[in-house]
Amino acid sequence: MNPRALAVWSAAGLVIALSTGNPAYRAIVLLCGLNLVAARGRPGVSARPLLFGAGIAALIATLLTLLLSHTGAHVLFRLSPGIPAIGGAFTLEALAFGLATGLGIAAVVLAVAPLTLVCEPHELVDALPRPLARTGAAVGAALNLIPGTIRSAREIRDAQRMRGWRAGRVADWPAVAVPVVLTALEGSLTLAEAMEARGYGAQSRTHLATTAWRAGDTAVAVVSGSAAAMFLVLRFSGGAPDWYPFPLLSAPPVTIAAISCCACLVIPVLWPRR
């Protein structure tokens, strides 16, 4: 898929997920993102770390809301009000609102994730507008350093362990943290040297090959862009009602039109793979 078409799709997903607090719409964005990653993800690239991170973020949001928001009609249990911050009633409404917030975070992540999980990094760089091409190349190169830095951090920890270092006291951590930082800096400098030595910045960059724009990309861009625009219209005209569980929990209201807009985000997987 052309990265620019995918960027339009991601923007549409973000618009929908961020413009409403209604978990029903957010859930559809989330499912469309998951579906896209599963169906069009790059071979050999695992989505697990990202999904795990999104899950953790959603869980934290849920717990924080449950712990800190003590309003709502359905009380699940109570802690002594004397306990700072978390003391008081724990309500079903707060739990539901927390879940909706977590769902929103996960939906946002899944709206953006396909950019890195479906497209090659160099495709993204190539798709940047000309004024950003040089910066994009530098960012791409910098991202390339991350796996090496993680590897070297492990190596440094192991090497210091063999010299008697133990991860006990905070005062001992510089023995590992300092070499990790210095090694990363050295790696960055060497990479900068290598880029400069290969003519980085000499003139406007060309590209080996750019991902062609095909009919399917037009369909993805038009359908998702229109769906997001239509959702915004519905949202502000009352056709896509929001949801708020306080003070009394109720089911999220949905309309066929709004659900249809969200469901349009399934479009990338309906088109055949390149």
Partner 1 sequence: MLGFSGLSYAYPDARAPALDGVELSLGSGLALLTGASGSGKSTLLRVCNGLVPHFHGGVIAGQATVVGRDVLTTPTRELARDVGFLFQDPELQSVYASVERDVAFGLENLGIPSREMGRRVDEALQSCGVAHLRGRAVSTLSGGERQRVALAGVLAMRPRLLVLDEPISQLDPAGAEALVAALDGAIAQGTAVLVAEHRDELAFRHSGRALQIEAGRLTEGVPHSGPAPTSPRVTVRRGRGPAPTEAGWQLSRVTAGYGATPVLHDLELSGGAGEVLVLSGPNGSGKSTLLRTIAGLLPPLAGAVRRAPGRVAYLPQNPGALLHRSTVRAEVEWTLRRAGGAASPDEVLRSFGLCSVAGRCPRDLSSGERQRAALAAVLAGSPSLALLDEPTRGMDEPSRSALVEAVAGLAEAGAGVVLATNDRRLAGEIATRVVQVGEGTAREAFSPPEAAEPC
Q: 37: which 2 tokens?
A: 């990653």
- Cβ nearer to partner 1, comparing 83 with 162: 162
Q: How many CB atoms lie within 10 A of CB 215?
A: 8
201 binds partner 1 (CB under 8 A): yes
Count of residues touching partner 1 (by CB under 8 A): 50
Give CA–CA dist 250/215, Å, rounded: 43
77 beta partners:
90
Which positions from 170 to 189 touch partner 1 by CB under 8 A, shown as an x/- string?
----xxx-xx--xx--xx--
Instruction: Determine if 274 is a binding residue for partner 1 (CB under 8 A).
Output: no
- Draw the binding track, 40-59, toward partner 1 (x: CB under 8 A; -: no contact): ----x---------------
Does the footprint of partner 1 cover residue 149 (CB under 8 A)? no
Considering only 67, 74, 200, 249, the residue that binds partner 1 (CB under 8 A) is 200
Which range, of 26-34, 98-106, 156-164, 216-224, touches partner 1 by CB under 8 A?
156-164
Query: b vs e for 160-196, b when ≥16 Cβ sit within 10 Å of the residue's Cβ?
Result: beeeebeeeeeeeeebbeebbeebbeeeeeebeeeee
Asked if 190 touches partner 1 (CB under 8 A), the answer is yes
Element at 79 (helix H, strand E)? strand 75-79
What three-state secondary structure class fits 75? strand
Residue 89: which H helix or E strand, with range?
Answer: strand 88-91
Alpha-carbon distance of 269 to 274, in angstroms, equals 11
Binding of partner 1 by 218 (CB under 8 A): no
Here's the x/- map for partner 1, 109-148, by CB under 8 A: it reads as -----------xxx--------------x--xx--x--xx
Which segment (12-20, 79-87, 169-177, 226-234) binds partner 1 by CB under 8 A? Answer: 169-177
Smallest distance, partner 1 to C-beta of residue 255, A: 44
Which of the stretches 12-20, 155-163, 233-241, 248-256 binds partner 1 when contact is defined by CB under 8 A? 155-163
Q: Which of 197, 212, 215, 251 binds partner 1 (CB under 8 A)?
A: 197
By the rule CB under 8 A, 209 interacts with partner 1: yes
- Spatial distance between the Cα atoms of 262 and 158, rounded to a whole number of angstroms: 49
CB atoms closer than 10 angstroms to residue 256: 8
> Which two tokens mark 236?
């502000």
Cα angle: 53, vertex 54, 55; to 5 degrees? 90
**Least CB distance to partner 1 at residue 239 (A):** 44
Burial of 103 (0-12, 13-18, 19+ CB in 10 A): buried
CA nearest neighbour of 63 among 95, 92, 106, 87: 95
In the bound state with partner 1, the residue whose beta carbon lies nearer, of 92 and 191, is 191
Q: Which of 50, 195, 232, 249 binds partner 1 (CB under 8 A)?
A: 195
Contact 123, 3 (CB under 8 A): yes
Which residues contact partner 1 by CB under 8 A? 44, 120-122, 137, 140-141, 144, 147-148, 152, 155-156, 158-164, 174-176, 178-179, 182-183, 186-187, 190-210
